[in-house]
Amino acid sequence: MRVNDAENSIYEGLRGLTWRPYLAVMWILCGQLQTLYADEFSDAERSLIPPTMDAVREVAAAGESAELTRQAAELAQAWGDVRDEREPEASPGLMNVWATFEGLVQEIAGITPRYHGAEWLTNAIIEPWREANHHGQEPILVDPNAEVADDSPTAHTLALFQHIVTEVARAQEGDWEPRRLRAQIFRSQ
C-alpha cells in the first residue's frame, strides 16, 4: 500500500463531507486514535477526551448551539494548555493527536476553519510509521512513493480509516448520530 495515496484518500474523503457527517466520522476516528495512543496519554489528556468527544458527538447528531460553541472554546483553550505543557516530552504522533482533538473543538467554536482537524488526524496515523522508519533522523523527508506491507499494522490502520470514511459518506442523509454510525460500520465488517 502506498502510504501517501492512503493518507490523501482519508484526508480528501474527510474534506468531501458536509459538516455534520464530517464530525460524525471524526468522532469515530478519534475513538480509534484513543486506542492507538492510549499508552501515551497523561491524566490531562484523559480528562479532556470525554468532554471533547461529547461536544463533537452532540454537534454531529443535533447541530450547533451557543452552549456547545462556548464549551468547545473552553476545551480548545485546555487542549492548548496541555500542548504547551507536554510538547517537549511528546512524540510527533501524540502531538498530532492533540492537534486533532484541539482542531475539532476549535472548528466547533469557530476559532479555526472547518476541517482543520482532518490533516492532523491523518498525520497522527502516519507519524509512528515515519518515526520507526527514520530511527530518530531529523528532518524526516517524506517519500511520496513510500509503501507499507499490506499486512502491516500501518496498512491495517489506514485501510480501517479509509473504510470508516467511505461508510459514513454512504450513510443515510440526516442520521449523523456517531454511536449509531459506528455500530453499523463495525457490524458490517
Q: pLDDT tens, 52-76? A: 999 999 999 999 999 999 999 999 9
pTM: 0.92
Helix (H) or strand (E) holding 186: helix 178-188
Phi then psi dihedrals of residue 166, to 5 deg: -60, -45
- What percent of the chain shows pLDDT beyond 70? 92
Of 17-21, 41-45, 87-91, least confident by mean pLDDT is: 87-91
Whole-number Å distance between alpha carbons of 66 and 37: 31
Only one residue has cell 451557543, namely 66
pLDDT above 60: residue 137:
no
Q: Which CATH number fits domain 3-188: 1.10.3470, 2.30.30, 1.20.58, 1.20.1590?
A: 1.20.1590
Rounded (5°) CA angle 16-59-84: 85
Give the model's pLDDT for residue 174.
Answer: 74
Contacts 24+ apart (CB under 8 A), 139-148: 142/4, 144/4, 145/2, 145/4, 146/2, 146/3, 146/4, 147/1, 147/2, 147/3, 148/1, 148/3
pLDDT tens digits, 147-183: 888 998 888 999 999 999 999 999 877 778 999 999 9
Only one residue has cell 467511505, namely 166
Quick one: average pLDDT of 101-121? Answer: 94
Whole-number Å distance between alpha carbons of 144 and 40: 28
